[in-house]
Amino acid sequence: METKDSYLKKMKEKFDDLNYKWNIERNKLEAKTQQAKVEAKEKFEEKLKTLQDRREQMRQKLDQIDNAGEEAWRDIKKGVDSAWQSLNEAIKKARSHFD
């Protein structure tokens, strides 16, 4: 059975890795937007804002697990998994905007 600490560690590692990869992708996308029309840049900035909001939600969920008791963290896990999926979808949408 998965423990709170092992789950939290796994999710924090995934989140850190995602943030590292996103920073690289963001730099590439920002370079592309400098050449794009104003409209495209505005759409990208909207997607970036959505992504930043989702990243913040994910960080808050991880904090909730970190602060939860041994029994309560399992109740929070579903929200974390959902936030993780939502964050990944936002990244895919940001990437697809420039593919």
The residue ranges of every structural domain in the chain are: 4-96
Average pLDDT, the chain: 85
Angle at 4 between CA 83 and CA 86, to 5 degrees: 5
Span 20-33, pLDDT tens digits: 998 898 888 887 77
Q: What is the pLDDT of residues 83-94, one digit of tens each?
A: 889 888 888 887
Query: Is the pTM here over 0.85, yes or no?
Result: no
CATH level 3 topology of 4-96:
Four Helix Bundle (Hemerythrin (Met), subunit A) (1.20.120)
Compute the C-alpha angle 1/81/56, nearest 5°.
Answer: 130
